[in-house]
Amino acid sequence: MDAESLLLSLELAAGSGLGLSPDRRAALLTSLQLVKRDYRYDRVLFWGRILGIVADYYIAQGLSEDQLAPRKTLYSLNCIEWSLLPPATEERATQMAMVKGRFMGDPSHEYEHTEFQKMTAEDDVVVQVKEETRLVSVIDQIDKAVAIIPRGALFKTPFGPVHVNRTFEGLPLSEARKLSSYFHFREPVGLKNKTLLEKADLDPSLDFLDSLEHDIPKGSWSIQMERGNSLVVLRSLLWPGFTFFHTPRTRNHGYIYVGTGHRCCACWRG
C-alpha cells in the first residue's frame, strides 16, 4: 500500500489482521515519509508484517520512477528506525530453502543447516545463514508470486520504462470481479510465451504484465466483493496472509502481507 494514502489503505485492508495500534500508525505515517525523502524514492510502499517469535518485522519498499525497476526493501522492528536489506539472489534462495520453522524476530539470529558436498573430503558441511538473509529471500518469493496491481494502474511508455498512470480512475464494477483485470507486479514471464495472435487484442501500453487468470494452480486466488460491493478483495491461498484490495471506480488499491512467511505447500502442490 502506498505510504501517501496509508491511513485510508489500512482502513480498507482492516480485514487482513494487521491490527496496528494508533501509535504504530502514527509512527509509520511519519517514518515512511522520511524514508522516501532520505533515500529519494519516487514512491514508498508499506509492504506488511512478517510475524516472529520475539518480535515482528515491519516491511517497506522503495520504488524508483520506473515502477518495474528492482525495488529496495527495508525492515523495522519498531516502525521508526528502518534498515535497508541487500538484494535477493538465487544463491540465497537456495540456501533458505533448507531453513524451516518460524522467524525469530532477531536479524542477527543464525540458522544452521547441513549441505552435502561431493568435492570435499568431508561429506557434510554445516552452513550458517543469518535471519536477515532469510527475510530477503521470503519477501522476494512473495513479491514474485502474489504482488499484484489492477489493470491500468501502470502504463508502459514506447521507450520501455513503466510509470504510474495518473489518469487511472479505477476498474469499473463489471471488470473488478474478474481475475483477468489484475496483473502480477513484476517483470512478465508468461506473456513472453504468447503467440502474436494471442497478443493481437492486447494494448501494449497497459497489457504488458502477466494476468492472474493464467496462474497455476487454478483456484489459487479467492476474489470477493465486500462492503456492499464497494470493495473488491483478493486473497492468495498459496501465501496465506496476503490481501489485495481495490475500490472500483476509484484510484484506491494496494496490498499487504501479514503472516509467518510460509507458503501453503500442503494445500497446493504445483
N-terminal to C-terminal alpha carbon distance within the chain: 29
Please report whether residue 267 resides in a domain: no
Please report whether residue 265 resides in a domain: no
Q: What is the pTM of this model?
A: 0.90
Please report whether residue 268 resides in a domain: no
Neighbours of 49 (CB within 10 A): 24
Please report whether residue 145 resides in a domain: yes
- Residue carrying the nine cell digits 508502459: 156
Domain of residue 133: give its range.
3-259
Concatenating the DSSP letter of every residue in 200-242 gives TTS-TTT--S-BGGG-SSTT-EEEEEETTTTEEEEEESSSTTE
Please report whether residue 195 resides in a domain: yes
- What is the full per-residue pLDDT of the chain (270 aa) written as tens digits? 999 999 889 888 876 667 788 899 999 999 999 999 999 999 999 999 999 999 999 999 999 999 999 999 999 999 999 999 999 888 777 777 778 889 999 999 988 766 655 555 556 667 788 899 999 999 999 999 999 999 999 999 988 899 999 999 999 999 999 999 999 999 998 877 777 777 777 888 999 999 999 898 888 999 999 988 899 999 999 999 999 999 999 999 999 999 999 988 655 444
Please report whether residue 92 resides in a domain: yes
Residues pairing with 222 in the sheet: 235
Distances (CA, A) of 190 to 99, 183, 186, 193, 215: 29, 11, 11, 5, 9
* Total tally of structural domains belonging to the chain: 1
The dihedral built from the CA positions of residue 115, 129, 184 and 200, taken in this order, carries a sign that is negative
Please report whether residue 21 resides in a domain: yes
Cell of 68: 518495474
Please report whether residue 130 resides in a domain: yes
